[in-house]
Structure 1
Amino acid sequence: MKYTKQNIQKKRQILSSEKIRRNSKISLFLFKYAFIISIALIVTGLGLGVGFVRGILKTTPQITKDSVHSKGYITTIYDNKGSTIKTLSNHDSNRIYTPLSSVPKNLQHAFIAIEDERYYSHNGIDLYGIIRATFLGIRNQSLSQGGSTITQQLIKNNVLGIQPEKTTMERLERKIKEQSLALELEKIASKQYILEEYLNAINLGEGTLGVQTASQKYFNKDVSELTLSECAVLASITKNPTRLNPVTHPENNASRRSLVLQNMLEQHYITKKEYREALSDDVYTRIQKNAAAAPAKKTTNSYFEDALILQVVKDLKKQLGYDETKAYNAIYSGGLKIYSTQDQQIQKIADSVTNDASNYPKATKIALSYSLSAKTVSGKDVVYSDHNLLDYMRKNNLGNQLIFTDEASAKTVVTKFKQYILSKGETITNESFQTTIQPQISMTIMNQSNGTVEALVGGRGNKTSDLSLNRATGTTRQPGSTFKILSAFLPALDKNHMTLATVYEDAPYNYIDTNRPVRNYYKGYKGYSTIREAITNSMNVVSAKTIADVTPKTSFEYLMNLGFSTLVSNETTSNGNVYTDITQSLSLGGLTYGVTNMELTSAYASIANGGTYQKPVLYTKVVDHNGNILLSNTQKGKRVMKESTAFLLTDAMKDVITKGTGKSAKLSSSMAVAGKSGTTSNSYDYWFSGYTPYHTASVWMGYDKNTNFASDNTHKKIWAKVMNEIIKTKQEQTTDFKKPADIVKAKVCKESGKLAIKEVCDHDPRGSRVITEYFEKGTVPTQTCDIHVAVEVCKTSDKLATKNCPANKKQRKIYIVRKKGSHGKTADTPYMLPKKYQSVFCKKH
């Protein structure tokens, strides 16, 4: 354009024209209003945005230091030496809390270098990281989830948890919450606290949570022992625990490990030398070796562990007021340390012996548990149980019990039963077929000095599920003759001032309360017998007579003090029947429900422990993951009998093994041992309870479903094998039981239990009846024998000799006299001598 005077004038005319002025006014008007509207929209948008953010913040939870603390941790069970025997966890608790002071600096720096390089300088939000993540998101055409700081990741894992993020709005809302809470957390917690919580919370693959669990999983070492290379491996996992798993995807992890080490070098956490050494480390070969050498994960608890868990649950509820759910959550995700009483050496011995098939009767069988679900023709659901199968078997002459020689035989019967169901037009919808080897066994081994259970066997065969049938703690069986010691003879000696020399007559006898005859396991009767003999030979009649004198009520009180929880004082069932164990049959173990193996063992342990009862415990203490003691099982014990009583019973039970019913339980060493066998009259249950100066143990053998069988003393032999191996393994020194100071000896006549008459009791026509017996001081008999009587007879007249009879014509005769109508106790008067010797004297001299 030429800027001449004429051109300029022309331009002025155009700009000053009416049309131009009118257009300019319209443009200005539109611009003003557009500007005003834009401002209004911006203000409105800001208001809505502020309102949106405020709405989100209102629903954002309050943040505290405790709220970011991980709630789920591995619970560890230790044995009595402090070695780990089992860990318990659920899907959200496979972590072991570790303080930051135990985490190597290299591991801390590795995570910071790859996850949040400005961690120590930002206030919870990394603006640079957000901007960078935003540009990357725009370039990749997605809303990036990057830019999260370690603080935000901790908030996401431990506070907000897993939330659905299907829409952009949901993802934006979560980001706002994360950033808000991150800012708040950084105000109340130190960087060290946040980092510690983060390192204990992160998912590091293979089901591990936190760096300690991951270190043990991949490297089989404590986190404090990790090398720089190993630290970089762990820091490489967290971005994608599946794809970067160093066991299954070592090449992916190796690539990211290089990036971690590069970042650490650039951020001056390591030197070039350390960087090169770490890169050259063949760490993945070690990881693969550790993975291959790792023992198979124990998914099923042992019987001991089952019983332990149940005892801890019970005590958490009773002592701390936990409900059932809280107690189990504490055990499986509370990071507890449970210090059990198990001795792994003893447990291994017990498991080995009780699972050895050669230790059982040759006619070992299996028991069947069966159920079947079906639909009838009309569509009705029906369920058939063991009882239905048994009824079918009886009606078709296929047997009268669900005990079979082998699994094939059981399947044959079940197949016929299923054919019968199908023949009725029913459709089978489900079936449960399970067999268990028989006979079964249970065993409890205790340290009697403190009540600790060192081994527990709840059955033999494969254990396939947790908290399953535990025959040592969860089932009751009739104790048979093992109960004679506890119910009859213990209170007799301890309270009724009887002695081992007290005599009862083993003769035909009926229970006082039921008038039923009492039968011995042997044929016939043995006549006058001491309590020692009754213990040695397991004499039923003498036991029943003893408890009659003690009274069942007193016996029941003693049993309660011995810790039995399954006895019944007075119970009325829904059908009106009344049951009680306060009966004379208590002497022979005739109980309403029976007893558990563990409680019977602890009762015998009280005798072995000199008369002091210790409650059977499976743990010594339970500690939470912060080191606070939740439960403690220290106990002083309770005296339940005199020390002298315990010794006298022990000495009598030594005879059970040397010459009585327990000879099959004799040990191979000279270790002192005492015990008592027990067999129910129907041959369903076989027991042996005994002890050495170190351990008390009880063995039960029988069929889960009551079945009579011949034990052939197998249970006693198993008891002896276990105890022999314990003595050998533990190198226990041969020793005898401690004798109290108030125990004395005296010679008595075994026929009367009273002081022996010299040259009378020892001149019994059947042989000497004089024995030396132990007594508690103050209980030695003061009366002389009134069973044996010596008379001087004139040989010429066969009448009582007089002073006139020549000395060479006199003869001394010994007679056994009895009290008329004797029901068991020794005779007083009158004597039953032949009439010619009662008052008729010789008249020939």
Structure 2
Amino acid sequence: MMRLLKFLAWSGLAVFCGLLLSLSGAFLYLAPGLPSVDTLRDVQLQIPLRVYSSDGKLIAEFGEMRRSPIQFADIPQDFIHALLSAEDDNFANHYGVDPSSLMRAATQLLKSGQIQTGGSTITMQVAKNFFLSSERSFSRKINEILLALQIERELSKDEILELYVNKIYLGNRAYGIEAAAQIYFGKSINDLSLAELAMIAGLPKAPSRFNPLSNPQRSKERRDWILGRMLHLGHIDKTRHDEAIAEEVNARYHVATPELAAPYIAEMARAEMVGRFGSDAYTAGYRVTTTVPSDLQDFANKALRQGLMDYDRRHGYRGPETRLPGMTRDAWLGELVKMRSMGGLEPAVVSQVEQSGVMVLTRSGTEEAISWDAIKWARPFLNTNSLGPAPRKPADVLAVGDVIRVQRGEQGELLMAQLPAAQSALVSLDPRDGAILALVGGFSFEQSNYNRAVQAKRQPGSSFKPFIYSAALDNGYTAASLVNDAPIVFQEAGMREAWRPKNDNNTFLGPIRMREALYKSRNLVSIRLLQELGMENALAYITRFGFNRQDLPPNFSLALGTANLTPLEIASGWCAFANTGYRIQPYLVQRIESRDGTLLFEANPPRVPGTPQRVSADSAEEIPVEAPAKATRIIDERTAFIMTSMLQDVIRRGTGRRAMALGRSDLAGKTGTTNESKDSWFSGYNGDYVTTVWAGFDQPESLGRNEYGGTVALPIWMSYMGAALKDKPEYLPPEPKGIVTLRIDPLSGRLATPDTPGAYFEVFKSEDSPPPMSEFEQGYGIPGSPLPFDEGAPIDLF
């Protein structure tokens, strides 16, 4: 017996020494190739890029991994107990490796011939997740053990646990427990119940097998087992255990819902961040604050969508998106789930047609009524100029199985709608520094992510004319100068036929003051002004507003707005009229912060003198030290003032008269409509906002007879500006020095005498004040000036 005992003792010692020598040899062999554990102290977990409005509302999140790291102190104690009960109940006592767990794993391997568990502690899992692959091999396991021993020497238990809960993958793109809590329960980890905490603690073992969305029963079994372990280990009492066991599984998929719908803004910010930081933009946890206030963006979204739907309704109903007759309710639901909401319009299937209206099945599985009053607008669409007969009953419009679009009315009622075929874009800028305050690139980003506000180069039509008139004012013309509104013909070598430009109503008014010509949008006057300026001089002047010369045609059609420009470019150019003559550069990103809140960038663009720096709501004390650059003056301050006065008359007396309904005297603007009404525009401003709206079809075609900038684009502009300026005091830049106001004869543009009929007050630059009329001119007209135009007047030929 003694010999046997000695043999066993020496054999055990030999085995122990052999293992010790083997481990020592393995350590000496593998240690040089192991990564440094010190890097864990400065580890940078992948965090998505997040984009916010200027008032801190989430617009979008970009990145494959959804992660929101939390500090150890913020981890609920119940979760720590649940996690350790499930994964490593001896975590507080071992030194990175638990021999009993490894022996248990080895025994299972010997019995089954397959790896059942790895016997890993939480520390070993940290080693694997941060430094190693998921390959199942003995060499990787040894590396894992050696790294775990080093980690335990370098880091505290709290630090190890914090790394673990922020790194682990928990299914559905959730990395870390905070992201998992948001995705599965729509709440922070600190707001979860004990049962919900236990369910998340059960995910690390197998995120797909125990996923509460795809495998709710297995997930519940795993949760209940963990709760039992917590009771057994004394972490909870019987009462809490039983209450948690009785709780139903209420997990469902929660997408990180943006607080502000601004997908075109989000995409612009994303592209800028990728340009700055490359692919790291998606993983480094940057926080981007834009210049866009959430209220203005909401106003822009609503204005554009409603404006397009109003236009669309005027041109009739184009029929259902598709028809699904003869299908069961469940089959209808299956089809509806495949369809997306677009611009707030939800898909629905007509399930019943009655005399008083129809019943529709929505994606939520509920059936709701649409009254006849919400349907009778739907006259059949024939073409952009023609409608079919008005329907007399719901059956004239809809049939069972029709897939249509619906929206909520102001009283919560369901209304019949349809996706507009036309598109639109809106851009609103701060004229003092170029900050983008609102931007919408189309009816729905889900329908098309093509950003028409910054990508669609379209002809601006008459909304381009102010740049021609500004050039004239800076070259000796005045708002009272007479220009002949008469026919003109261009015939040049190589032209197949002569070009005969005309006014939109094909009439001519003869000599007309520039002010009147602008608010009446007379094409022939713009062409004659461009002729007098000279093409090269005009192009050089107009490019000051920020336009690329290659987008400006070097011919007289430029006066009619045949340049190819985006709404953002037009709005940027118009800012010079609103800000007393300075060129600004539009910008979107106001602030960039790192994952830990360090300020990396704060925009400090050139701005109009006297304009305070725009700072984010949470960065008032972090204003850059360097003084902002002064914006470049591109036109005379007095020219900007006179242009504003003339453009105010467009709203008071011209093609923008509808805007008078806003009840403000500080608005200036101009409509624009291209040939055959393929593009409609309105650009306008006061001293606070410059806003441009475009509307048309992506593939240019006529918007229809009697559709112009004043009927399609202007109502959208009015809706946005009316909301944006509500309760704001009226504001236009003050009158500059060197401006004089004189009483003018409307027929000659000269200073009026006391008895001149119809005399009016006009503003001039002091050096351009017109002379008084002579006695001869008072009686017989102005020598050399054209007489009022009539059908027999001569036509200029060029």
TM-score (norm 1): 0.67
Overall identity of the aligned pairs, in %: 25
1:309 is the counterpart of 2:267: yes
SS at match of 1:76: strand
SS at match of 2:464: helix
Match of residue 291 from structure 1: 252
Match of residue 33 from structure 1: none
Which whole-Å CA distance do the structure 1 matches of 2:152 and 2:308 have between them? Answer: 59
Which whole-Å CA distance do the structure 1 matches of 2:708 and 2:242 have between them? Answer: 63
Match of residue 740 from structure 1: 735
1:478 is the counterpart of 2:428: no
Which whole-Å CA distance do the structure 2 matches of 1:719 and 1:129 have between them? Answer: 72
1:456 is the counterpart of 2:439: yes
Distance 1:549 1:184, change over 3 A: farther
The within-5 A match list for 1:238-637 is 238-264=204-230, 270=235, 272=237, 276-277=239-240, 279-281=242-244, 284-285=247-248, 288=250, 291=252, 304-314=262-272, 316-317=274-275, 320=276, 322=277, 326=278, 329-340=279-290, 341=292, 343=294, 344-356=297-309, 358-359=311-312, 361-362=314-315, 438-460=421-443, 463-464=446-447, 468-486=449-467, 488-493=468-473, 495-509=474-488, 517-565=500-548, 567-568=549-550, 581-591=553-563, 594-637=564-607
Q: Indicate if the aligned counterparts of 1:650 and 1:674 stay in contact, CA closer than 8 A.
A: yes
CA deviations 1:28-49 (Å, max 9, x no partner) are xxxxxxxxxxxx9999999999
Rg (Cα) greater in structure: 1
Distance 1:186 1:600, change over 3 A: farther
Which whole-Å CA distance do the structure 1 matches of 2:16 and 2:78 have between them? Answer: 49
State how many pairs are aligned: 651
Which whole-Å CA distance do the structure 1 matches of 2:535 and 2:233 have between them? Answer: 83
What is the CA-CA distance between 1:483 and the residue it aligns to?
0.9
Letter in 1 for 2:183: K
Distance 1:648 1:86, change over 3 A: same
CA deviations 1:77-100 (Å, max 9, x no partner) are 32333222332232xx12122233
Q: Indicate if the aligned counterparts of 1:687 and 1:698 stay in contact, CA closer than 8 A.
A: yes
Which whole-Å CA distance do the structure 2 matches of 1:611 and 1:66 have between them? Answer: 56
What is the CA-CA distance between 1:473 and the residue it aligns to?
1.6
Runs of at least 5 residues in structure 2 that lack an aligned partner in the other structure: 1-13, 320-382, 388-417, 608-630, 790-798
SS at match of 1:65: helix
Letter in 1 for 2:469: F
The within-5 A match list for 1:718-729 is 718-726=712-720, 729=723
Letter in 2 for 1:181: L
Distance 1:226 1:513, change over 3 A: farther
**1:88 maps to which of 40, 58, 62:** 62
What is the CA-CA distance between 1:562 and the residue it aligns to?
2.8
What is the CA-CA distance between 1:178 and the residue it aligns to?
1.6
Letter in 1 for 2:126: L
Which whole-Å CA distance do the structure 2 matches of 1:721 and 1:709 have between them? Answer: 15
Letter in 2 for 1:623: E
CA deviations 1:132-172 (Å, max 9, x no partner) are 43334434543343321222212322332444x3xxxxx21
Which whole-Å CA distance do the structure 2 matches of 1:736 and 1:359 have between them? Answer: 34
Match of residue 43 from structure 2: 69
Which whole-Å CA distance do the structure 1 matches of 2:93 and 2:538 have between them? Answer: 77
What is the CA-CA distance between 1:721 and the residue it aligns to?
3.8
**1:175 maps to which of 117, 141, 149:** 141
What is the CA-CA distance between 1:595 and the residue it aligns to?
0.6
Which whole-Å CA distance do the structure 1 matches of 2:16 and 2:101 have between them? Answer: 27
Q: Indicate if the aligned counterparts of 2:309 and 2:420 stay in contact, CA closer than 8 A.
A: no
Higher deviation after alignment, 475-484 or 211-220: 211-220
What is the CA-CA distance between 1:215 and the residue it aligns to?
1.6
Letter in 2 for 1:233: M
CA deviations 1:232-253 (Å, max 9, x no partner) are 3321222122232234444433
Which whole-Å CA distance do the structure 2 matches of 1:546 and 1:297 have between them? Answer: 53
What is the CA-CA distance between 1:101 and the residue it aligns to?
3.4
What is the CA-CA distance between 1:262 and the residue it aligns to?
5.0
SS at match of 1:152: helix
Distance 1:599 1:590, change over 3 A: same
Which whole-Å CA distance do the structure 1 matches of 2:775 and 2:29 have between them? Answer: 102
The within-5 A match list for 1:177-196 is 177-196=143-162
What is the CA-CA distance between 1:772 and the residue it aligns to?
0.2
**2:654 maps to which of 647, 651, 660:** 660
Distance 1:452 1:529, change over 3 A: same
What is the CA-CA distance between 1:210 and the residue it aligns to?
0.9
Higher relative contact order (CA 8 A, sep 6+): 2
Q: Indicate if the aligned counterparts of 1:664 and 1:713 stay in contact, CA closer than 8 A.
A: no
TM-score (norm 2): 0.71
The within-5 A match list for 1:790-829 is 790=778, 814-819=779-784
Q: Indicate if the aligned counterparts of 1:512 and 1:584 stay in contact, CA closer than 8 A.
A: no
Match of residue 785 from structure 1: 773
Match of residue 613 from structure 2: none
Distance 1:643 1:264, change over 3 A: farther
Q: Indicate if the aligned counterparts of 1:258 and 1:279 stay in contact, CA closer than 8 A.
A: no
What is the CA-CA distance between 1:202 and the residue it aligns to?
1.2
Letter in 1 for 2:271: V
Distance 1:45 1:184, change over 3 A: closer
SS at match of 2:289: strand
Which whole-Å CA distance do the structure 1 matches of 2:200 and 2:581 have between them? Answer: 57
What is the CA-CA distance between 1:513 and the residue it aligns to?
9.1
What is the CA-CA distance between 1:459 and the residue it aligns to?
2.9
SS at match of 1:451: coil
RMSD: 4.2
What is the CA-CA distance between 1:212 and the residue it aligns to?
1.3
What is the CA-CA distance between 1:739 and the residue it aligns to?
3.0
Q: Indicate if the aligned counterparts of 2:195 and 2:247 stay in contact, CA closer than 8 A.
A: no
Which whole-Å CA distance do the structure 2 matches of 1:201 and 1:819 have between them? Answer: 86
Which whole-Å CA distance do the structure 2 matches of 1:261 and 1:42 have between them? Answer: 38
Higher deviation after alignment, 59-68 or 689-698: 59-68
Match of residue 398 from structure 1: none
What is the CA-CA distance between 1:485 and the residue it aligns to?
0.6
CA deviations 1:317-367 (Å, max 9, x no partner) are 3xx4x4xxx2xx34443433232315342144134314415555516879x
What is the CA-CA distance between 1:447 and the residue it aligns to?
4.2
**2:120 maps to which of 148, 169, 181:** 148
Letter in 2 for 1:735: E
Which whole-Å CA distance do the structure 2 matches of 1:54 and 1:65 have between them? Answer: 21
Q: Indicate if the aligned counterparts of 2:662 and 2:718 stay in contact, CA closer than 8 A.
A: yes
Q: Indicate if the aligned counterparts of 2:479 and 2:762 stay in contact, CA closer than 8 A.
A: yes
SS at match of 2:190: helix
Which whole-Å CA distance do the structure 2 matches of 1:352 and 1:438 have between them? Answer: 12
What is the CA-CA distance between 1:187 and the residue it aligns to?
4.2
**2:750 maps to which of 730, 751, 754:** 754
SS at match of 1:678: strand
Match of residue 426 from structure 1: none
SS at match of 1:529: strand
SS at match of 1:615: coil
SS at match of 1:667: helix
The within-5 A match list for 1:630-649 is 630-637=600-607, 638=631, 639-649=633-643
What is the CA-CA distance between 1:532 and the residue it aligns to?
1.1
Q: Indicate if the aligned counterparts of 1:458 and 1:470 stay in contact, CA closer than 8 A.
A: yes
